[in-house]
């Protein structure tokens, strides 16, 4: 396949990674926490979206909306139950993260109970067209994925730069203490952040389902790690870095499958993680965190 086609495919794939990575990085920015249940939130969004489609026969819009809403709900729930109670106490500095590992396990098994442990097909109710643009082939599914992802990223950008609430989010991410003194209710901002982060992940779940035509309760682990790698690549806490990081990982993955053995495909994200940590821990675009102790 032509290289440009690979890159396009990679961007399509990477767009979903970006949505997940944005979620990770938003949470990290505001709480300095690596939210290891985020991948499971993504997975739950995918399944709920599927259920809605199956039950109502609705189309892509219905699936995406349901996924976003339910994922946001689950995400906020995870925060309230597994993260908030811990932050109040002075424990091991990694206690919140460890707790999210636990929350992720619970979510994963609950999903297995309710939706079965197998991969299930993801029917896409939409007209299938194929476009050819200057040597590149695009399916309508891919276009939808691209449009939705880019649209959401743009919306997020506008939100955090133009709206009051969005700016409050940025302020809280910079310094919770200072924003508190400015009257910003950090608790609400945190919940909003989780809602947005999780909602985006839920949408990504539906997009990935459409893209691969199947979802499984274990996809959260896999995508979770890739989203994590994208976040690291872009710099912890850096939303725009996460967007680009996701695209880069998607492109690298597609190209590596094309030119190297496909069974190493999943390992690429891990190599990226390790390479970033070793050589540029601040990420390519800079992190909001003090990486070196």
Task: State the residues that interact with other proteins by CB under 8 A.
Answer: 34, 81-82, 85-86, 89, 91-99, 101-110, 113, 221, 225, 228-229, 232, 261, 263-264, 266-267, 269-271, 273-274, 277-278, 281, 291-293
Residues 245/233, Cβ–Cβ less than 8 Å: yes
CB of 273 to other proteins, least distance (A): 4
Nearer to other proteins, 124 or 227 (CB): 227
Our CB check for other proteins shows the closer of 206 and 233 to be 233
For the CB of residue 3, give the shortest distance to other proteins in the complex, in Å. 25
> C-beta of 34: minimal distance to other proteins in Å?
5
CB-wise, 93 or 259, nearer to other proteins?
93
Residue with Cβ nearer other proteins (142 or 198): 198
Q: How far is the CB of 186 from other proteins (least distance, A)?
A: 20
User: Toward other proteins, which CB reaches closer, 218 or 240?
Assistant: 218
C-beta of 119: minimal distance to other proteins in Å?
15
């Amino acid at each position: 396949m032509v290289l440009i086609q690979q890159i396009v495919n990679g961007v399509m794939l990477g767009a979903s990674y970006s949505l997940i990575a944005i979620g990770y990085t938003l949470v990290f920015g505001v709480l300095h926490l690596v939210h290891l249940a985020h991948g499971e939130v993504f997975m739950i969004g995918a399944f709920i979206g599927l259920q809605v489609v199956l039950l109502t026969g609705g189309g892509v819009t219905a699936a995406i909306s349901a996924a976003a809403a339910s994922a946001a709900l689950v995400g906020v729930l995870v925060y309230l139950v597994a993260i908030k109670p811990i932050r109040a106490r002075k424990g091991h500095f990694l206690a919140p993260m460890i707790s999210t590992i636990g929350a992720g396990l619970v979510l994963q098994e609950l999903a297995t109970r309710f939706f079965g442990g197998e991969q299930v097909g993801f029917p896409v109710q939409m007209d299938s067209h194929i476009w050819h643009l200057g040597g590149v082939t695009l399916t309508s599914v891919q276009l939808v994925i691209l449009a939705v992802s880019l649209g959401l990223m743009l919306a997020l950008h506008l939100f955090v730069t133009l709206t009051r609430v969005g700016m409050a989010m940025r302020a809280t991410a910079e310094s919770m203490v200072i924003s508190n003194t400015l009257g910003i209710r950090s608790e609400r901002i945190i919940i909003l952040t989780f809602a947005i982060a999780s909602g985006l992940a839920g949408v990504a779940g539906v997009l990935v389902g459409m893209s691969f035509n199947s979802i499984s309760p274990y996809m959260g682990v896999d995508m979770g790690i890739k989203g994590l790698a994208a976040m690291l690549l872009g710099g912890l806490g850096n939303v725009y870095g996460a967007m680009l990081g996701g695209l880069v990982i998607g492109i690298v993955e597609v190209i590596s499958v094309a030119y190297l053995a496909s069974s190493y495909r999943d390992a690429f994200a891990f190599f990226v993680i390790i390479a970033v940590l070793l050589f540029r821990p601040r990420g390519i675009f800079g992190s909001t965190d003090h990486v070196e102790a």
